[in-house]
């Protein structure tokens, strides 16, 4: 059963999507113990592979592999040869190091131990994704693949996984089509992604379930291109690029007991071809959708409403919790409205001051438009927070056990 997708030829609020993914396993329990201690976070050198890495190189030397798929098959053999105990086979921590190149592959990563996948880069971790030299590409949509998740260029189905400095593309899809084609599908808990980039059009990044962390990554797409049902995800200093009118996030939280949440902290929300005011921060896929953008730059690509429904009478907005805090830029709420408490939501006392009707945002390109938009133009189911969310609130106090400390949340 495939997802239903919006047509980019119509208003974003007219689309429909089913309320559930078919035949998916329950989300991992965040209290699952580590198979072993967390992967040692030694200093990653930009050129030299970490000690005892499995090496992938386009022109391999002895003991290396020409494709990522063959390296993963070698991991399977390592697992089979691992020591046994009364609790079963213990899979040791492993690292796959990939040298520069374009790898035209569709891969599934499933290893019962901690695993790092590191792409060659000639820069340091402070500089983000811009100088990545490892590219994994495919071009297939959900209809051809059999399901949306199966269309992914890279499918990660494991706990305790981290990726560094890798670009992933699904080149299928373009404006005017309804082609769901995933670049990365991430299922499992304690997954983290650093300085990596994900390119697609519709459904670029599926964070399926578990606890995830993304740091200085880039995600490009147009239609619901960051989406989930059950995952809890902290996006730290990521950049999004919208290629056409559409929606950035679709959170499918189904009820009050579902832990799912998206937090975009210090993000840059940019256009990669979409016209001004044609993109929305998110729309509710589930009845209790929960998304926050905080301390982020919202460019003029963001529509003054900020958030969208799937249709005018969509009841999923009744319980959606769409919040902002401390954002700036032409697509953000005017600082004067924020300082006056308009639209403020306090977790304890509720809405402090409802928004007032306004005459609308300033014309595109005017000096006033660069300051932001009145809160009264925001969707009625969105609010301003009294204070920002912390990563501990979202991922738990133990997030430092599995997030690389060099890529942690700065305060």
d(CA 271, CA 276): 8
**What does the DSSP 8-state code read for residue 229?**
S
375 found inside a domain: yes
379 found inside a domain: yes
369 found inside a domain: yes
Higher-scoring residue by pLDDT: 365, 84: 365
pLDDT for the residue 407: 87
Q: Give the number of other CB atoms < 10 A from CB of residue 62.
A: 4
pLDDT tops 60 at residue 276: yes
Higher-scoring residue by pLDDT: 81, 301: 301
DSSP H stretches of helix in 110-219: 142-145
pLDDT for the residue 47: 67
pLDDT for the residue 87: 57
388 found inside a domain: yes
80 membership: H or E segment, kind and range:
helix 68-80
pLDDT tens-digit profile of 381-404? Answer: 888 888 899 999 999 999 999 999
pLDDT tens-digit profile of 197-215? Answer: 999 998 999 999 999 999 9
Determine whether 397 is an active site residue: no
Sequence-ordered strand ranges (E) for 31-133: 54-56, 84-85, 88-89, 94-98, 101-104, 107-109, 115-119
240 found inside a domain: yes
Backbone φ and ψ of 56, nearest 5°: -115, 130
Mean pLDDT of 257-271: 96
218 found inside a domain: yes
407 found inside a domain: no
pLDDT tops 70 at residue 358: no
d(CA 331, CA 268): 11
d(CA 118, CA 95): 7
d(CA 84, CA 69): 26
Nearest to 186 by CA among 218, 225, 212: 212
d(CA 349, CA 146): 47
CATH number of the domain residue 123 falls in: 2.160.20.10
Nearest to 300 by CA among 268, 324, 326: 268
pTM for this prediction: 0.85
pLDDT tens-digit profile of 112-140? Answer: 899 999 999 877 656 678 889 999 999 98
Higher-scoring residue by pLDDT: 339, 321: 321
Position 29 confidence tier, pLDDT thresholds 50, 70, 90: very low
Q: Which of 148, 203, 258, 404 is catalytic?
A: 203
Determine whether 224 is an active site residue: yes
Q: Which of 224, 258, 337, 404 is catalytic?
A: 224
Mean pLDDT of 155-162: 97
d(CA 359, CA 305): 13
Position 301 confidence tier, pLDDT thresholds 50, 70, 90: very high
pLDDT for the residue 316: 79
**What is the 3 state secondary structure string of 319-363?**
CCEEEEECCECCCCECHHHHHCCECEEECCCEECECCCCCCCCCC
| Least trusted range by pLDDT, from 104-108, 139-143, 182-186, 392-396 | 139-143
**What does the DSSP 8-state code read for residue 172?**
-
160 found inside a domain: yes
What's the domain range around 144? 100-397
Number of domains in the chain: 1
pLDDT tops 50 at residue 368: yes
| Least trusted range by pLDDT, from 9-23, 47-61, 171-185 | 9-23
Mean pLDDT of 172-182: 74
């Amino acid at each position: 059963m495939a997802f239903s997708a919006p047509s980019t030829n119509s208003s974003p609020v007219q689309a429909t999507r089913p309320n559930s993914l078919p035949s998916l396993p329950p989300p991992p329990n965040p209290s699952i113990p580590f198979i072993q201690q967390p992967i040692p976070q030694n200093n990653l050198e930009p050129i030299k592979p970490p000690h005892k890495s499995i090496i992938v190189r386009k022109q391999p030397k002895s003991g290396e592999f020409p494709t990522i798929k063959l390296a993963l098959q070698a991991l399977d053999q390592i697992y089979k040869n691992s020591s046994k105990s009364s609790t079963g086979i213990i899979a040791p921590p492993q690292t796959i190091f990939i040298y520069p190149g374009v790898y035209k592959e569709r891969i599934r990563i499933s290893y019962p131990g901690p695993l790092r996948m590191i792409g060659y880069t000639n820069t340091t971790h402070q500089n983000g994704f811009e100088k990545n030299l490892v590219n994994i590409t495919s071009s297939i949509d959900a209809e051809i693949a059999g399901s949306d998740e199966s269309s992914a260029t890279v499918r990660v189905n494991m706990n305790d996984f981290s990726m560094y400095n890798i670009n992933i593309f699904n080149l299928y899809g373009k404006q005017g089509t309804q082609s769901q084609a995933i670049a990365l599908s991430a299922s499992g808990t304690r997954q983290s992604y650093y300085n990596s980039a994900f390119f697609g059009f519709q459904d670029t990044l599926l964070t399926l379930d578990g606890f995830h962390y993304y740091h200085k990554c880039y995600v490009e797409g147009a239609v619901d291109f960051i989406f989930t049902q059950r995952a809890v995800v902290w996006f730290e200093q990521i950049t999004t690029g919208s290629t056409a009118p559409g929606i950035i996030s679709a959170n499918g939280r189904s009820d009050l007991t579902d832990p799912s949440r998206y937090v975009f902290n210090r993000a840059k929300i940019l256009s990669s071809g979409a016209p001004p005011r044609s993109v929305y921060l998110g729309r509710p896929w589930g009845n209790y959708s929960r998304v926050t953008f905080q301390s982020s730059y919202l460019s003029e690509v963001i529509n003054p409403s900020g958030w969208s429904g799937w249709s005018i009478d969509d009841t999923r907005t009744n319980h959606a919790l769409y919040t902002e805090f401390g954002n700036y830029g032409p697509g953000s709420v005017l600082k004067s409205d924020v300082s006056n408490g308009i639209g403020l939501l306090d977790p304890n006392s509720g809405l402090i001051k409802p928004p007032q009707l306004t005459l609308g945002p300033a014309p595109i390109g005017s000096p006033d438009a660069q300051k932001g938009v009145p809160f009264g133009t925001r969707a009625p189911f969105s609010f301003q927070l009294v204070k920002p969310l912390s990563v501990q609130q979202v991922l738990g106090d133990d997030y430092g056990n599995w997030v690389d400390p060099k890529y942690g949340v700065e305060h």
